[in-house]
């Protein structure tokens, strides 16, 4: 049997298909064929993001949106005075919202007067802050100026445990973990870190071990405290510190319970959980009790939307112990590929998130950090992704709507095309995925964020001093001319 005709026929079909594909590619959207590569192991997409996109109509007239945004960008935003202090008016384009950070700035002011006081920040983010990147530099800058020692709250397990330098941790593989990224109804409420852990293996030991990192101000584990949740059954935990083993009871009566491991500072310890399978475990806190402390609650693939399912009562119970003064929401990386440049659905969802934050941590200030620049290939040329600016503006809108502070990370790092420059610099400050910063770049970003916050704080101090000076001015009593009074009285008598 002669197979040559079939071979040549098959070859011709493949060749024709290749030609058709090549030609068809030219008329498809350029962005589909981006050469940017991502590590699929590090890419997760939260379920709430997918549902929000599916539920919202993305049909939008971009011309009308652009015109309304142009007009809105130049409109003046004025602020109502807070405790007699009022920041200057801003336009939408230049919006920072320092007015809404006044409670946080006041706490820093009190800390400067009393170094034994304490200020705490919760920094929620996605893969941009994985491994404590950016956050550890914000933390270091604050602790350098205002004091404080320790890395704050640390989860039981973490995707970035091996790469984190500010604290080292290893743990057994038999922990059961539930995350707010993909579980809506956990067996027990999520902790302040968005996770809940269970030591539900009665056959093998379930353990976690921590060791102090090498970063400045985190070379010891200060006053380690375990946080755990409510259960009908008690349990035990064995703390191994050096050559000593101390067994302590877990009494899970409250929504959130604490157990001090040791007073003072440790270099390392191990915690073995015994008969604690029904008790929700959240993590450990490390801080020296004064100065500024910054907790990193990063989660790869997070859009920020899952925060809306936090249990308010549980968060308030956490806050009773941790007492937050500022909550930072740093998201956007995982939202850029959704929305067709219309992010009204995301704006709506994150407005609910900020409302949940303010309910959960009464009196807290909120700071929104926008998406950074991201580059995508268009017609064989790397350019800023067309979705970056629309998403950044949407983030600014819900910051303004919810009376939150705002950091425009896109413009801080250089604006249009800046991610390309960060990647191409020698040495590079960002990775070849044209999305994430490396350690060198993250350090710069952390300093840029701190500098904007500190600039707002310095301006606050000037405004506060002016207010205090006005309040302390001696009141002048106007002297009344008795002759003029008598004349008026005479005229009245007539």
| Distance, first Cα to last Cα, the chain | 137
Res. 9: pLDDT tops 90: no
Burial readout 297-323 (b: 16 or more C-beta within 10 A, e: otherwise): bbbbbbbbbbbbbbbeebbebbbeebe
Give 492: exposed, middle or buried? Use CB within 10 Å, 0-12, 13-18, 19+.
Answer: exposed
How far from chain centre, in Å, is Cα 1?
A: 69
* Residues, the chain: 494
The model's pTM: 0.86
Determine the Cα–Cα distance for residues 170 and 12; give it in Å rounded to an integer: 57
Give me 364's structure tokens: 């807290």
pLDDT band at 491 (very low <50, low <70, confident <90, very high): very low
- Torsion 404-409-411-416 (CA) sign: negative
Residue 56: predicted pLDDT = 56
Pairing of strands 167-171, 375-378: unpaired
Domains and CATH numbers, the chain: 28-148+289-471 (3.40.50.1110), 156-288 (2.60.120.260)
pLDDT band at 37 (very low <50, low <70, confident <90, very high): very low
Give me 23's structure tokens: 């030609």
Closest CA to 149 of 219, 241, 210, 213: 219
Determine the Cα–Cα distance for residues 208 and 197; give it in Å rounded to an integer: 11
Res. 332: pLDDT tops 50: yes
Phi-psi label, residue 301: left if phi above 0, alpha if psi -120 to 50, beta otherwise: left
The CA distances from residue 419 to 343, 413, 429, 434, in Å, are 22, 8, 9, 6
Q: Any alpha helices (H) in 41-169, and if so which ranges?
A: 47-55, 62-74, 102-113, 135-146
Residue 66: predicted pLDDT = 55
* 215-259 confidence digits (pLDDT tens): 999 999 999 999 999 999 999 999 999 999 999 999 999 999 999
Contact (CB, 8 A) for 222 and 243: no
Determine the Cα–Cα distance for residues 125 and 147; give it in Å rounded to an integer: 24
Residues 476-484 have a mean pLDDT of: 59
* 395-452 confidence digits (pLDDT tens): 999 999 999 999 999 999 999 999 999 999 999 999 999 999 999 999 999 999 999 9
Closest CA to 336 of 296, 367, 372: 372
pLDDT band at 341 (very low <50, low <70, confident <90, very high): confident
Share above pLDDT 90 across residues of the chain, in percent, rounded to a whole number: 75
Burial readout 64-86 (b: 16 or more C-beta within 10 A, e: otherwise): eeeeeeeeeeeeeeebeeeeebe
Residue 145: predicted pLDDT = 97
Residue 414 has φ and ψ, to the nearest 5°, of 130, -5
Residues 117-125 have a mean pLDDT of: 98
Q: Which residues lie closer than 8 Å to 470 by C-beta, 6 or more apart?
A: 84
């Amino acid at each position: 049997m002669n197979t040559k005709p079939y071979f040549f026929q098959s070859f011709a079909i493949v060749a024709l298909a290749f030609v058709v594909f090549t030609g068809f590619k030219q008329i498809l959207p350029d962005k589909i064929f981006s050469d940017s590569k991502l590590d699929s192991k590090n890419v997760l997409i939260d379920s709430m993001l997918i549902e929000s996109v599916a539920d919202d109509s993305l049909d939008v007239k971009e011309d009308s949106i652009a015109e309304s945004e142009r007009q809105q960008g130049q409109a003046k935003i004025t602020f109502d005075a807070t405790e007699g202090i009022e920041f200057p008016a801003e336009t939408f384009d230049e919006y920072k919202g320092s007015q809404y950070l006044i409670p946080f700035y006041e706490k820093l002011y009190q800390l400067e007067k009393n170094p034994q006081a304490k200020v705490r920040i919760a920094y929620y983010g996605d893969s941009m802050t994985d491994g404590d990147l950016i956050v550890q530099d914000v933390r270091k800058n604050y602790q350098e100026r205002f004091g404080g020692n320790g890395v704050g709250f640390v989860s039981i397990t973490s995707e970035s445990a091996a790469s984190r330098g500010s604290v080292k941790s290893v743990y057994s593989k038999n922990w059961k973990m539930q995350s707010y990224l993909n579980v809506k109804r956990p067996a027990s409420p999520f902790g302040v870190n968005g996770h809940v852990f269970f030591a539900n293996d009665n056959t093998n030991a379930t353990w976690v071990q921590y060791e102090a990192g090498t970063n400045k101000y985190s070379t010891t584990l200060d006053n380690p405290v375990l946080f755990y949740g409510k259960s009908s059954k008690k349990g035990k935990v064995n703390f191994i510190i050096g050559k000593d083993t101390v067994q302590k009871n877990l009494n899970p009566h409250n929504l959130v319970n604490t157990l001090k491991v040791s007073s003072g500072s440790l270099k390392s310890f191990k915690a073995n959980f015994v008969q604690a399978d029904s008790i929700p475990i959240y993590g450990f806190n490390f801080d020296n009790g004064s100065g500024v402390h910054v907790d990193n609650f990063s989660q790869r693939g997070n859009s920020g939307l899952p925060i809306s399912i936090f249990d308010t009562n549980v968060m308030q119970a956490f806050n009773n112990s941790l007492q937050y003064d500022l909550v930072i929401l740093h998201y956007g990386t995982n939202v850029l590929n959704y929305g067709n440049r219309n992010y009204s659905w995301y704006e709506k969802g994150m407005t609910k998130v900020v409302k949940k934050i303010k309910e959960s941590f009464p009196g807290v200030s909120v700071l929104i950090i926008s998406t950074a620049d991201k580059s995508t290939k268009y017609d064989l040329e790397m350019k800023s992704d067309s979705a970056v600016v629309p998403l950044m503006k949407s983030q600014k809108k819900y910051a303004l709507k919810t009376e939150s502070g705002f950091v425009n990370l896109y413009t801080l790092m250089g604006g249009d095309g800046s991610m390309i420059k960060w990647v191409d610099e020698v040495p590079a400050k960002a990775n070849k995925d044209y999305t994430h910063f490396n350690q060198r770049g993250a350090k710069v970003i952390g300093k840029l964020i701190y500098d904007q916050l500190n600039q707002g704080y310095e301006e606050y101090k000037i405004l506060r001093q002016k207010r205090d000076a006005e309040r302390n001015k001696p009141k002048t009593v106007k002297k009344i001319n008795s002759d003029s009074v008598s004349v008026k009285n005479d005229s009245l008598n007539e």
